Amino acid sequence: MIKFSTSLFLTIFLGVFICCSTTTAATQYTFTGSGTWSSKITSTGSGNPRIYTIAAGQTITLNVGVGNMDSLYIYGTLIFGNGKQITTSSSGVILVYAGGSISGGNASSGFDFNSGTDIYGPFNGSNKVFGPTYGKNNTGGTFQPLLLPIELANLTASTSSISWTTLHESNAHSFEVEVSTNGVDFITVSAIDAKNYSNGASYEAAYTYNAASYYIRLKAIDFDGTFAYSPVLHVTNNSTDSDLFYTAAVNGTFVLNGQMAADANCTLQIFSTNGSLLNTWTESFTANQNFSTALPIENLSNGMYILVIKNNASNQVITKRFVK
């Protein structure tokens, strides 16, 4: 799998689609806002696979049974009703991205994978599920961490191009540039072949997209057909939402430095690698002003942790890994 690298020491946890790639005939299920599953669901297309997406900022309560699902992508919150179940195809996958969660239900609530081992609730207390994680019929009846590390270097985007650098490439086929006006439904606007250099390479891809404000991401594709996504950047007036990075630890404290392109009120959360929430707080950032924020990790044991930064206005989520 392609690895992106950085001199800024960022490691981003990204969800990887475990199932096969989507065709144009796919049925895409989304939700018109927070509420019950049955009252908010909408769809486009009529073929296979059947893909469901709960967007960031949405809270969906499962009040009905759901069957014949191929993929469920959770960026927001899924709350199970008691006794409610989701049945997938035999190759179905549930992907909970950073900032997403699953809660609620009882012992009869959960995911029936149609083969292998199912996953049942209740999803409360220590059993609440936080992303990044995934569940399938072969994950032993539990959700497993999505620990595909993609280390980004200088990922930048303007209204005409996007640039990035890789540390190592093996079996790398190509990159696609995808954009979206709502952060959920992406289309491909450019593609470039991977150089497949073992020591990495630098790239720049030009694209054309006419919108005043939109989201952009990279799709990295291997020769075996598997693929992964970069973090999503918000492009507006030739700027992106954030430029965040870590400095070195000082006296056991990590400091987050950077600059926001727009005023932002953000919720910051620290998770363990098994998805347990360890700390949460809010920070306000002023547009185009450098900031320096110390992470409250003095009471944490040495090890690896995940920082989730959510823009409370745009619901954009940035996820970074760090080691104390």
Instruction: Give 255's contacts (C-beta < 8 A, 6+ positions apart).
Output: 246, 247, 292, 293, 294, 295
Domain boundaries, the chain: 26-145, 154-233, 241-323
18-34 tens-digit pLDDT: 233 333 457 889 999 99
pLDDT confidence of residue 219? 84
pLDDT confidence of residue 4? 40
pLDDT confidence of residue 144? 79
pLDDT confidence of residue 23? 37
CATH of domain 241-323: 2.60.40.10
pLDDT confidence of residue 224? 61
- Number of neighbouring beta carbons within 10 Å of residue 148: 15
Q: Which two tokens stand for residue 86?
A: 């989701």
List, for the chain, all residue ranges whose pLDDT scores fall below the cut of 70. Answer: 1-25, 145-155, 167-171, 198-199, 223-226, 231, 236-254, 257-259, 261, 273-275, 304, 314-324
| Helix then strand then coil, % of the chain, to nearest 5 | 0, 55, 45
Q: Is 154-233's fold the same as 241-323's?
A: yes
pLDDT confidence of residue 167? 65
- Give the C-alpha distances (Å, rounded to integers) separating 219 from 17, 188, 212, 259: 11, 9, 22, 25
Compute the distance between CA of residue 320 and CA of residue 7 in angstroms, rounded to an integer.
14
- State the DSSP string of 36-50: EHHHHEEEE--EEEE
Bridge partners, residue 293, by sequence = 256
pLDDT confidence of residue 269? 84
Bridge partners, residue 138, by sequence = none
Region for 251 from its dihedrals, namely left if φ exceeds 0, alpha if ψ lies in -120 to 50, beta otherwise: left
Fold held by 154-233: Immunoglobulin-like (2.60.40)
Q: Which two tokens stand for residue 147?
A: 């620990």
Q: Which two tokens stand for residue 127?
A: 């059993």
Compute the distance between CA of residue 295 and CA of residue 318 in angstroms, rounded to an integer.
15
Compute the distance between CA of residue 289 and CA of residue 31 in angstroms, rounded to an integer.
36
pLDDT confidence of residue 149? 38
